[in-house]
Structure 1
Amino acid sequence: MTKIDPRTEIKEFLRSRRARITPERAGLPAYGGNRRVKGLRREEVALLAGVSVDYYVRMERGSLAGTSDGVLDAVASALQLDEAERDHLFHLARQSRAPGGPRRRRPTATVRPPLQQVLDAITDVPAWICNGRYDVLATNHLARALYSPVLTDARRPANTARFVYLDPEAAETFFVDYDRIACDVAAKLRMEAGRNPHDEELITLVGELSTRSELFRQRWASQDVRLHRSGRKRLHHPVVGRLDLDVESMELPADPGLLLTVYTAPAGTAAADGLALLASWAGNPAVSRLPAGSGG
């Protein structure tokens, strides 16, 4: 992949969302029993959004320049977009309005020393900081222990997306819900591409994954997007076994593009006992020396 073209992203995203909505789901009569298109027709989306057919066709051809937020909201409602999809549409619109730019090599963000101090102060649960490309930039000692299978890759910064797609045997062993994780990783990278389509490091990563992983190509082609949010992650650690952990991901306002992720378990559960065992194992000097990335 040599570039991420916002016009192409707009076209493929809108077409994919239109294809999944049936007239019945949209509350429209399905005239004719032999429809040539999957999902809604362009004129049906235009009707639902309250815009002319020509206007919507122009949007779906990749031009969102000059499109008001009100029209974007109307199209999002017509296509029944969820929160992540709506945000993605608005990101694409902002890129469409902005003058075209060359690929930019955004330096791998370094983590400010006070943030590393915050991580180090979190002593009872794993915590780490990554960016939207899934680069692991800084960890505390428990995160180094928890994600030791990911951090064995000699490349720095370590990258969770590469682990998921380019080391699938290890990733399927580590992530209990591997299929869901693979979907989410591609969807979050797609979201990042909408925000930063000229990011050279992101383009390189997507190109590498597309070249080397058929599964990634399939997931990327789906046009699905996801937000970094709270949830549950089920892991099988090579030393302490099964861990069902609650995950909280938080954006860092003072450091745009960085996310702090913390893994916890309710007191008295098997997962809490597993974290205690992990903490004991993390005291091993060999584990504490595992580098997370270039930051910190």
Structure 2
Amino acid sequence: MPTIPGSSAETRTPLGRRTDVLASNRLARAVLTDFDALPATRRNLARYQLLDPDARERVIDWERIAAETVAVLRFEAGRYPDDRRLADLVGELAVKCPEFTTWWNDHRVLRRTHGDKHYRHPLVADMHFAYESFQVPGDPEQTLCVYNVEPGSETAEALRVLAGWTAPAITAPDASRPG
């Protein structure tokens, strides 16, 4: 996976064309939500950002990010007008998110390539990321999103703390078993 020079920490999330979360690293799960704990059919960034009450709390400037997410879905709907799963997602969001229809009817389209996002984490405070999105070579339906932070920044320190809290437990070898 690509790494942008100068970053001391990063989160990575590959997305499918409907913003389906295909995978995420430990830090991405700690910053946003644990997509791995959700049923595979519910692992979707748009669904999280627009319908999960925690997203409204965690995503600073939620309205801007949510509207951009709707514009990304509209972009994909234009590229794949017969995609039944995308139409179902749009329908679900239209019914369950009060703001969705207004943003959808704006007819704005967006293909994310780079930008910034800000998150409020309940344990470590506010975090600021620069992100880059890369189309995966050979698969136009996958996008790798890499979120980077400035080395030495408050966000880098917050990620270091989160990484420590979320690190897998290391168990000591069983002394009773021969080595």
Gaps of 5+ in 2: 3-7, 170-179
Question: Structure 1 residues 172, 157: CA separation in 2 closer, same or farther (over 3 Å shift)?
Answer: closer
Q: CA deviation at 1:150?
A: 5.8
Pick aligned residue for 2:19 from 121, 130, 134: 134
Q: What is the alpha-carbon distance in structure 2 between the residues aligned to residue 255 and residue 278 of structure 1? A: 32
Cα RMSD (Å) of the superposition? 2.0
Question: Structure 1 residues 262, 236: CA separation in 2 closer, same or farther (over 3 Å shift)?
Answer: same
Q: Residue 151 of structure 2 corresponds to which residue in structure 1?
A: 267
Task: Report the structure, 1 or 2, having the larger helix content.
Answer: 1
Q: Which entry has the higher C-alpha Rg, 1 or 2?
A: 1
Q: CA deviation at 1:284?
A: 4.6
Matched, 1:213 2:100: no
% identity of equivalent residues: 35
Alignment length, in residue pairs?
A: 164
Question: Structure 1 residues 141, 151: CA separation in 2 closer, same or farther (over 3 Å shift)?
Answer: same
Matched, 1:160 2:160: no
Q: What is the alpha-carbon distance in structure 2 between the residues aligned to residue 280 and residue 193 of structure 1? A: 40
Paired letter, 2:125? G
Q: How does 1:194-213 map to 2 (within 5 A)?
A: 194-213=78-97
Paired letter, 2:100? F
Matched, 1:146 2:31: yes
Paired letter, 1:127? R
TM-score (norm: length of structure 1)? 0.52
TM-score (norm: length of structure 2)? 0.83
| Greater RCO, CA 8 A, separation 6+ | 2
Matched, 1:175 2:55: no
Q: Does structure 2 retain, via aligned residues, the 8 Å contact 1:136–1:159? A: yes
Q: C-alpha offsets along residues 128-175 of structure 1, whole Å, 9 cap, x if unaligned? A: 1001211100112222222226666445351111122222x3221110
Q: Residue 185 of structure 1 corresponds to which residue in structure 2?
A: 69
